[in-house]
Amino acid sequence: MQNLIEEFIQYLQREKGLAVNTLESYGRDLRQYSQYLEADAEGSWNQATRATIAAYLLHLKKQGKSAATIARRLAALKSFYQFLVRENYVEQDPTSNMESPKLEKRLPKVLTIKEVENLLKQPSSTSAAGLRDRAMLELLYATGIRVSELISLNVSDLNLEMGFLRCMGKGSRERIVPMGSVAIRCVKEYLTNGRAKLVSNPEEKALFVNHHGRRLTRQGFWKIVKKYAHDAKIQKDITPHTLRHSFATHLLENGADLRSVQEMLGHADISTTQIYTQITKGRLKEVYSRTHPRA
């Protein structure tokens, strides 16, 4: 089965153009399914039935896995078995017509404008790392790009004179995103006074690098955000995407149209973007209740 998983991952990469993180997630989920079959189930991947899949999902539930995790594992299995049927490795798809567990729609947590301003002023402007951190945070909030897109940026992806950047999103979809004047100023300052002090190899293409002079990782960025959130005394349980969510919500609150926000976020489906309208509606109700004399 391990060879088939590798073949499937290569197919997803080649034919679907999925992001590296997505491919790793598929591989991880399918390997755990393979381990389950070896340890707890009778038969093998090519003898799996609907009952086998149902037993596996029940096994995950007993382990305390969330509905979202179980739904993701089932989605991986569905794609995998569809691939196996198409390539004639199995005759029938045991996941056919199986429904995913219903997920509770959770609204993304966002920061208030004041909280964002407090967070953005935390990095020091007297060190190379501080200039880098301020540029990253300002750029993330100014553009709404994903953290994976931020750390994947090369210096050549920026056009600071025209005020935009080029990034590669999910499914290898390229998009052009405008940058705000504050973010442009902070990135220029980082490039002029900070990056050269961090980069050890003059051939390094990465825009944001760590103290070793190599491209910053997602984990490294997340540690930076956690530190500044703590310094800013932000009590909310923020995630790597909190600034992205805040970017979208603040745009909509200030009159941006949904289609423009969808394009800037790189959402393939506008229904994904619409979740932010629920946040803004909730804010409106809150403001109304607090300010209207007959609320």
Catalytic pick among 50, 72, 170, 214 = 170
- Known catalytic membership, residue 132: no
Catalytic pick among 134, 146, 245, 250 = 146
- Known catalytic membership, residue 81: no
Residue 138 one-letter amino acid: E
Burial pattern 26-53, b for ≥16 Cβ within 10 A else e, equals: bbebbeebbebbeeebeeebeebeeebb
How many CA atoms within 13 Å lie on the side-chain side of 170? 12
- Known catalytic membership, residue 59: no
The secondary structure element, H or E, covering residue 32 is: helix 20-40
- Known catalytic membership, residue 244: yes
How many CA atoms within 13 Å lie on the side-chain side of 278? 11
The C-alpha torsion from 24 through 29 and 34 to 40, rounded to 10°, is 150
- Known catalytic membership, residue 146: yes
Contact 3, 30 (CB under 8 A): no
Alpha carbon of residue 120 to chain centroid? 20
Question: CA-to-CA distance for 127 and 288, rounded, in angstroms?
Answer: 44
How many residues would you count in the chain?
A: 295
Catalytic pick among 59, 214, 241, 283 = 241
Catalytic pick among 132, 134, 244, 245 = 244
- Known catalytic membership, residue 250: no
| Helix, strand, or coil (residue 175) | strand
**Residues with active-site annotation:** 146, 170, 241, 244, 267, 276
